[in-house]
């Protein structure tokens, strides 16, 4: 059996089952319409809050079937042709370490832009015309063998930045998509409820 090119991985909790189903439905639509079934695999982790998000992410990478892996959060969204764009880039750049792209951000209705790229030294604000810049992390497409070799910290939040900094020295080549592939949606009321903040 041929190895899939991309593992799309979604960590979620029981409270996010509806969002996970909606995102999965959209990703399946993209895959089927573009006839990408042989190139993409899905791995999900819906264990409860007794397991840290860092542990879920780490376990998902270890389970990845694809040559590359990306982890998208269940309550966010993807460009309507995002999967096809990523697959095309990976097919045309078969040995690249990571694939990065721009991000559309909606925080309580305030629209912002972020860029992920290996060219940045660290996470920062207001750089290159973006509200935020990020070194590659879980939302970026990472070669699976590299992702597996860098353990994700077993913490409940902040694992993305910690892992990004540990990962950076293992990445040497990048292909960047100048499109807002990822749509990050944050609502303070949901966040406060999730973490018990009054």
Alpha-helical (H) ranges within 150-187 are 159-167
Adjacent-strand bridge partners of 183: 77, 104
Average pLDDT over residues 126-150: 97
Mean pLDDT, the chain, rounded, equals 93
**Which pLDDT band, with edges at 50, 70 and 90, does 99 fall under?**
very high
Asked if residue 122 has pLDDT above 50, the reply is yes
Residues 5, 94: Cα–Cα separation, whole Å: 9
Q: Check residues 197 and 117 and name the one with the higher pLDDT.
A: 117
Tokens of residue 189, six digits: 């009321």
CA angle 103, 106, 109 (to 5 degrees): 160
User: Average pLDDT for residues 30-53, to the nearest whole number?
Assistant: 95
Are the CB atoms for 114 and 130 separated by under 8 Å? yes
Query: Which has the closest alpha carbon to 22: 70, 66, 59, 74?
Result: 74
Q: How far apart are CA 117 and CA 37, in angstroms?
A: 28
Q: Tell me: pLDDT of 42 over 60.
A: yes
Percent of the chain with pLDDT over 70: 94
Q: How far separated are the first and last CA of the chain, in Å rounded?
A: 51
Q: What pLDDT score was predicted for residue 186?
A: 86
> Which helix (H) or strand (E) covers residue 105, if one does?
strand 98-107
Does the structure show a pLDDT above 50 at 119?
yes
Per-residue pLDDT band at 198 (split at 50, 70, 90): very low
- Predicted confidence at residue 194, as pLDDT, reads 47
Total number of residues shown for the chain = 198
pLDDT higher than 50, residue 195: no
Residue 112: pLDDT band with limits 50, 70, 90 = very high
Are 59 and 161 contacting, i.e. CB atoms less than 8 angstroms apart?
no
Mean local confidence (pLDDT), 100-109: 94
Cα–chain center distance at 185:
13
**Max mean pLDDT range (4-8, 104-108, 194-198):** 4-8
Mean pLDDT along residues 38-61: 95
> Quick one: which H or E segment has residue 58?
helix 53-63
Query: Sign of torsion, CA 105 123 133 110?
Result: positive
The three-state secondary structure class of 157 is: coil
pLDDT at 191 over 90: no
Query: Is 90 exceeded by the pLDDT of residue 59?
Result: yes
């Amino acid at each position: 059996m041929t190895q899939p090119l991309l593992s799309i991985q979604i960590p979620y909790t029981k409270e996010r089952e509806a969002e996970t189903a909606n995102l999965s439905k959209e990703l399946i639509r993209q895959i089927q319409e573009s006839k990408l079934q042989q190139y993409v695999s899905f791995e999900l982790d819906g264990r409860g809050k007794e397991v840290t998000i860092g542990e879920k992410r780490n376990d998902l990478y270890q389970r990845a079937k694809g040559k590359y892996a990306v982890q998208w959060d269940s309550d966010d969204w993807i460009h309507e042709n995002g999967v096809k764009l990523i697959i095309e880039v990976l097919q045309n750049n078969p040995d690249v370490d990571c694939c990065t792209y721009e991000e559309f951000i909606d925080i309580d209705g305030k629209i912002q832009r972020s860029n992920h790229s290996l060219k940045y030294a660290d996470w920062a604000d207001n750089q290159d015309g973006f509200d935020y810049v990020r070194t590659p992390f879980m939302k970026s497409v990472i070669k699976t063998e590299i992702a597996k070799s860098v353990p994700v910290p077993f913490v409940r939040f902040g694992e993305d930045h910690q892992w990004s900094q540990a990962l950076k020295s293992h990445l040497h080549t990048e292909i960047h998509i100048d499109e807002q592939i990822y749509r990050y949606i944050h609502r303070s009321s949901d966040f406060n409820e999730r973490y018990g903040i009054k």
